[in-house]
Amino acid sequence: MRYETAVSWQPEVDEIKRRVELAQRMGGPENVARQHAGGKLTVRERIERLLDPGTFHETGALTGKASYQDGRLVEIVPANFVLGTGRIDGRRVVVGGDDFTVRGGAADAAIANKQGYGELMARELRLPIVRLVDGTGGGGSVKTLDEMKRTYVPANPSWDVVVALLSEVPVVGACMGSVAGLGAARVVTSHFALMVRETSQLFVAGPPVVERGVGEQVSKEELGGSHVHAQGSGAVDNEVESEDEAFAHIRRLLSYLPSNVWQVPPRRPPDDDPGRREEVLLSIIPRNRRRGYDVRRLLALVLDRDSFFEIGRGYGRPLVTGLARLDGYPVGVLANDPLQGGGGLDAPASDKMVRFVDLCDTFHLPCVNFVDQPGFLIGTAAERAGTIRVGARALAAVYQATVPWVSIIVRRVFGVAGAAHGNAQRLNLRYAWPSGDWGSLPIEGGVQAAYRRDIEAAPDPETRRRDLEAKLDALRSPFRTAEAFGIEEMIDPRDTRPLLCDWVAMAYDLLPVELGPKRRGCRP
């Protein structure tokens, strides 16, 4: 027995354990304390809190810069990227995060292509990937120049995989600190990106580079704080108050998505009555066409209780997008918000629509569109923003989508943007509420355009215009459209939820034969 112990590999096994423990120290107590003082968690704490407890399985814990004395290890500084798999609500994911406590997460402290290995894991194991980016995310630092004694032509590592992932598995980019350059690109090359208020910033280049390059003096918060991107630029989707809220958002988002495009989105045991008919829906749309209403309240009344997870609330606000459940089945939800610019589709809202429709189409999430669309936003500012081109891309996204799609026309459908509420060349399943109001363009301005000569020739042009408007307005009833099968069904608004819960079961029956990647690739 003694002899066998002597030749076993126990010393090396002990060494593995010792080195795994050393890696837990990250950049050392001082740097860890500094990270905490900045109101941030370390990468290992983040991973622990994101995943189901105790499920993290690390890859590459032994990777580090070692120093030896007489052949014995005296110290090892771990690589500044922590990688592995774990579970979220019991479902496996790949997670990788920069360790800011080691050289600020910059490339010169990276070792081999650990990050790229994580991307490959996600692709070949067909698992969702969560990137916790804190630092330059593998991007360069001028210090590299000093160490290498030469420059290099920049290349984005593993970028073919990073791009391909978007068409195959859910990708989440979490901006967890001051993130520049390649790190910023990694955050936004995702289906869902978020930032933590005040402790994270995102930019192409930080304040010192900006000052030297374009002469602007700005703080990093002014330059790339979460308000800049989540409430303006649209570079990230959601803004959260704390890192824990970030993990909650990521876990929630993934709960609606399949692990990859070859799987059906996961149904949850339903916790709401599919036959629920809400009285309020009968009067939620004001009879006065000029009055708006709370569209999020409408959604809450129809969808499974508390199941709506909004994506991109602060950007492209005339369009509300999010994931939700109907009788436990995940669906994509689009809705126009009449209280934001009247609900008119502007360039940012069109951009938001492209990304959202592509997300749903990629992961085979059936879509429900609550339509109250006055048309593309009009006016000089809208023209200068290129609304028609971005808007046409939104149209293209709807027409390229092949997921089951249903529209609930709650009020207006006007113009080209209104026409894109669904794909008119397909079944274009839809139900109109009695408040339905539609046309190629609104009567008010349209009369002036179409009957100009008639109006100008009249003895009292103003009266003539009003008479014409009144005459045409009388033809505006949606019942006349229904008579001509121009709208297939008009419904009691209270029946919306029972109808949708019935539809979603049909939609999910179709999905198993529709799985796999789309011919259209996904772009950030």
Partner 1 sequence: MSDGAVRSPGVGKVLEVLVSVGTAVAEGDEVAVVESMKVEIPVTAPSAGTVAAIRVAAGDPVQTGDLLLTIAR
Q: How far apart are CA 57 and CA 125, in angstroms?
A: 14
Q: Can you tell me the distance from the alpha carbon of 359 to that of 284, in angstroms, rounded to the nearest whole number?
A: 30
**Least gap, CB of 199 to partner 1 (angstroms):** 14
**Residue located via tokens 């569209």:** 295
Our finding on whether 316 is near partner 1 (CB under 8 A) is no
| Contact criterion met (CB below 8 Å) for 405 and 423 | yes
Establish if 290 lies at the interface with partner 1 (CB under 8 A): yes
Interface with partner 1, residue 340, by CB under 8 A: yes
Q: How far apart are CA 83 and CA 158, in angstroms?
A: 15
CB atoms within 10 A of CB 328: 19
Residue with tokens 């709506």: 308
Which of 137, 344, 366, 422: binder of partner 1 (CB under 8 A)?
A: 344
- Radius of gyration over every alpha carbon of the chain, rounded to an integer in angstroms: 27
Does 224 contact partner 1 by CB under 8 A? Answer: no
CB of 447 to partner 1, least distance (A): 14
Q: Rule CB under 8 A: say whether 383 interacts with partner 1.
A: no
CB atoms within 10 A of CB 25: 15
Count residues near partner 1 (CB under 8 A): 25
Which pairing describes strands 81-88 and 91-98: parallel, antiparallel, or unpaired? antiparallel
Determine contact, residues 391/347, Cβ cutoff 8 Å: yes
The least distance separating partner 1 from the CB of residue 414, rounded to whole angstroms, comes to: 9
Binding mask 425-444 for partner 1 (x = CB under 8 A): -----------------x-x
379 binds partner 1 (CB under 8 A): yes
Backbone phi, then psi, for 96, in 5-degree steps? -145, 140
Closest CA to 139 of 179, 194, 96: 179
Q: Is 287 in the site for partner 1 (CB under 8 A)?
A: no
CB of 241 to partner 1, least distance (A): 11
E strands present in 359-450 = 367-373, 405-414, 430-432, 437-439
CB of 486 to partner 1, least distance (A): 22
Give the residue with the Cβ less far from partner 1, 211 or 294. Answer: 294
Say which residues have a Cβ less than 8 Å from residue 427's Cβ, sequence separation at least 6: none
Return the residue of 19, 34, 220, 227 that touches partner 1, per CB under 8 A. 227
Residue 337 near residue 314, CB atoms below 8 Å: no
Helix 461-473 to helix 443-450 angle (10° resolution) is: 120
d(Cα 420, Cα 414) in Å, to the nearest integer?
10
- Residue number with CB closer to partner 1 (217 or 380): 380
Rounded to a whole number of angstroms, the minimum distance from the CB of residue 295 to partner 1 is: 12
Which of 66, 282, 381, 457 touches partner 1 by CB under 8 A? 381
Residue pair 467/458 in contact by the 8 Å Cβ criterion: no
Going through 165-218 in order, the beta strands assigned E by DSSP cover 171-175, 178-180, 192-196, 201-203
Only one residue has tokens 């990788």, namely 96
Instruction: Name 81's bridge partners.
Output: 98
| Least spacing, CB of residue 312 vs partner 1, in Å | 17
Nearest approach in angstroms of CB 86 to partner 1 is 33
User: Does 395 help bind partner 1 (rule: CB under 8 A)?
Assistant: no
Which of 270, 341, 461, 524: binder of partner 1 (CB under 8 A)?
A: 341
Query: Please, what is the minimum distance in Å from the beta carbon of residue 452 to partner 1?
Result: 20
For partner 1, which residue of 106, 195, 377, 413 counts as binding (CB under 8 A)?
A: 377
144-152, 177-185, 341-349, 402-410 -> range binding partner 1 (CB under 8 A):
341-349
Does residue 14 bind partner 1 (CB under 8 A)?
Answer: no
Minimum distance from residue 288 beta carbon to partner 1 (Å): 9
H or E element, residue 322: strand 319-326
For partner 1, the closer CB: 197 or 393? 197
**Token pair for 200:** 């994270």
Which residue number, 376 or 431, has a Cβ lying nearer to partner 1?
Answer: 376
| Token code pair at residue 119 | 């991307």
Task: Return the residue of 157, 266, 270, 342 that touches partner 1, per CB under 8 A.
Answer: 342
Question: Judged by CB under 8 A, which stretch of 50-58, 144-152, 377-385, 397-405 contacts partner 1?
Answer: 377-385
Phi/psi region, residue 312 (left: phi>0; alpha: psi -120 to 50; beta: rest), is: left
Contact set with partner 1 (CB under 8 A):
197, 227, 289-292, 317-318, 338-344, 346, 374-375, 377-379, 381-382, 442, 444
